[in-house]
Amino acid sequence: MYSINETHDIHLSSWVTSANQQGCDFGIQNLPFAIFRRKQSDEVFRGGVAIGDKIVDLKKLSEAHVLTDLAQKGAVACANSTLNEFMAMGKEAWGALRLALSKALTKGSKLESALKNCLVEQADAEYNLPCTIGDYTDFYTSIHHATSVGKLFRPDNPLLPNYKWIPIGYHGRASSIGVSGQNFHRPVSQTKAPDAEQPSVGPCKRLDHELELGIFMGSGNELGQSVPIEEAEAHIFGICLFNDWSARDIQAWEYQPLGPFLSKSFASTISPWIVTMEALAPYRAAFSHPADDPQPLAYLSSEQNSSQGAIDIDLEVLIQTQKMRENGQAPESIATSNFIHSYWTVAQLVAHHTVNGCNLRPGDLLGSGTQSGPEPGEGGSMLELSVGGKKTLTLSNGETRTFIEDGDSIFIRGWCANENAARIGFGEVVSTVLPAR
C-alpha cells in the first residue's frame, strides 16, 4: 500500500490559484487523471490531470520535454487517446509522473511558465472514457445493501450463506459503460407481474440508480497467476465514481438462476476523473469483520489489509427532475453514504478475482456494488430508499418518487476530507434517463 509522502503535504499550495480554494475537489494533493479534449473541436482525445478548475494537457506537456526519465515516459503514454498504456506501466511510473506534476504545479516552481502553456479550462472540456474497458466485474460489497435488498425478497433469510465468506460478483457488460453526461433510453425487456399468468414485454417500470465506486486495474497478471493480497493494490490504478443503473422489475424476473442480465446491461456511467490510489493514502483506515462473523480466509487476509485496507470516502446521491431543471432548481440530495462501510476491501476484490488464475488487464473495471450505510438515509438505491416501492420520497418542489422517472438526472458525488489531510475530490458523475424507444 502507498505511504504518505511529499505529494500529500497539507501545506502544499499551487500557482494555479483555484486549486487552493477551500472545498476544491482537485487540489495539488489530488491530481486525478482523465481523457479529454476541448468542446466542439476536432482535437484528438488525450490524457489530462486536474488541478483546480484547469486541466494539464499531458500531450502538450510531453511535447514540451520539461519532464525527465520515467515521468516523461509516463506523460508520453498519457498523450494517447486512452490511459491503457500508462496504466500498464505500473506503480513506479504512476508515482513518478504524479511526483513530477506535484513539483511542477507547486507555488514557486521553475516550470510554472512551461506548464501554464499546457493548461485548459475544465469548463471548456469534454470527456471520453478514460480507457478501453476490456472487462467489467460488478461486486456486492455492502452488507447493508445486501441485507436491505435481501429482506425485501427473503425476510427470514436476507443474506445468502456465502456472503460473509466470499466477495460476490458477476461479469457485467463493458460496452454500455459511458462517461458522465451519458443519456440513455429506458430499457425494454420481459417482466412478469406477481399476479400475471405469463410475462409481457415493455418498458421497465422500476428503474433504479446504484451508488458505486469503480476500481480501475493498472498492471495486470498472467493467466493462471493469482495476485496475493499483499500485492493487490500495486495492480490498482485508481478509483472513480460509478452509477450502475438497474432495472429492478426486469431483474426480478430474470435473475434466477444465473443472476443479472438485461437488467444491468443497458447503461452504466462513470465519472471522468480517476483518483489514484496514491492520492488516497491519507484516508486509509482499519478494516475488520465483526468478531461474530466468519473471518476472511488466508488468501483474503493480511496485516496491511487489516490495518489500513478500508478507505474513508464520503458519497452523496442527488436527483434533478425534468421539472427541477426547467425551473432552474439545483439537484437535491436524497442519500449519503461512505465507502468505509464496505464489507470487503479493494485488495480483497483483486485477490479473490484472480485466485482461480483469472487474468486482469490494464483498464479492466471492478464495480464496488451499491454502497449503502447502516442508517435509513444511507441507502445507495431507490429500491432501499423506497423500501421496494412501498415508501414515497417527496422532493422539496412537491414531486414524489419511488423509482426513477423519464427526464430524471442522477448525480453522484464523492470526496475525502478530514482535518489532518487535504481534501481529495472525485468530481461528479451525472446521467439522464430518456423515454423508452
**Known binding residues:** 138, 140, 154, 210, 212, 244, 251, 255, 264, 268, 370
CA pseudo-torsion sign 169, 178, 341, 52: positive
Rounded to 5 degrees, φ, ψ at 251 are -60, -40
Burial of 340 (0-12, 13-18, 19+ CB in 10 A): middle
Is residue 145 part of the annotated active site? The answer reads: yes
Strand order in the sheet with 125-128: 119-121, 54-57, 46-51, 33-38, 125-128
User: Contact, 136 vs 173, CB < 8 A?
Assistant: yes
Q: Which cell numbers in the block locate residue 436?
A: 423508452
User: Contact, 191 vs 143, CB < 8 A?
Assistant: no
Q: Which cell numbers in the block locate residue 217?
A: 486495474
Contacts of 410 (CB under 8 A, 6+ apart): 209, 243, 317, 318, 319, 404, 430, 431, 432
Return binding residues for Ca(2+): 138, 210, 212, 244
Q: How far apart are CA 222 and CA 337, in angstroms?
A: 36
Return binding residues for Mg(2+): 244, 264, 268
Q: How far apart are CA 85 and CA 89, in angstroms?
A: 7
User: Contact, 413 vs 242, CB < 8 A?
Assistant: no
Cα 52–Cα 53–Cα 59 angle in degrees, nearest 5: 90
Q: Which of 8, 144, 145, 235 is catalytic?
A: 145
3-state SS class at 200: strand
Residues in the chain: 437
What is the identity of the amino acid at 44?
A: V
Q: Which cell numbers in the block locate residue 286?
A: 482499519
Positions annotated as catalytic residues are: 145
